[in-house]
Structures are given as C-alpha cells and as structure tokens.
Amino acid sequence: MSSTTTVIDDAKNGFSRPEMYKENLAGTVESYDRHVFLCYKNHHTWPPRVEASNDDPLPKSIATAFKARKNDIVIK
C-alpha cells in the first residue's frame, strides 16, 4: 500500500481530524462483555451517542435491538 493511499484513506475515515491523537484514550472506556462494530456511512454522520440519535434511525435501532436482547446473546 502506498503512503498516498494511506493518507487518502486516513482522511476518508476521519483519522486526519485535528483532534485525533491529542489524548491517550487507553482506559477511558468501561470494560464490556461484548463489542459490536457497525460500519455505516462515514465519521461525519455518527452522533456522539447513537442511543440518543434521532437524525438517523439505523444506528439507534441497532443499539436498541442489541440492548433489548443482550441477555439472549450467549457469546461473551
């Protein structure tokens, strides 16, 4: 992969934003039993809290569905 491609991908995915790499984030999130990653649109469209978003129903719907069925998910 060329460095030009890397720079373009970083910009496309939001990794060249001014606030990136300004803080050490290690240990800033509580431990969870499970993680789900949703790749959806781009970094500009994601609200700070998907559970509270009314702008785009898909991330909120997915978060609500997982929360409602969390006890049924056996893989931890």
In this structure, the number of other CB atoms found within 10 A of the CB of residue 40 comes to 12
Domain hosting residue 30, numbered range: 2-69
Please tell me the total count of domains within the chain.
Answer: 1
In this structure, the number of other CB atoms found within 10 A of the CB of residue 9 comes to 12
On the question of pLDDT at 1 being above 60, the answer is no
- In-domain check, residue 15: yes
The structure's pTM equals 0.43
Segment 30-69, tens digit of pLDDT:
777 767 777 778 777 777 777 777 777 887 888 888 889 8
- In-domain check, residue 33: yes
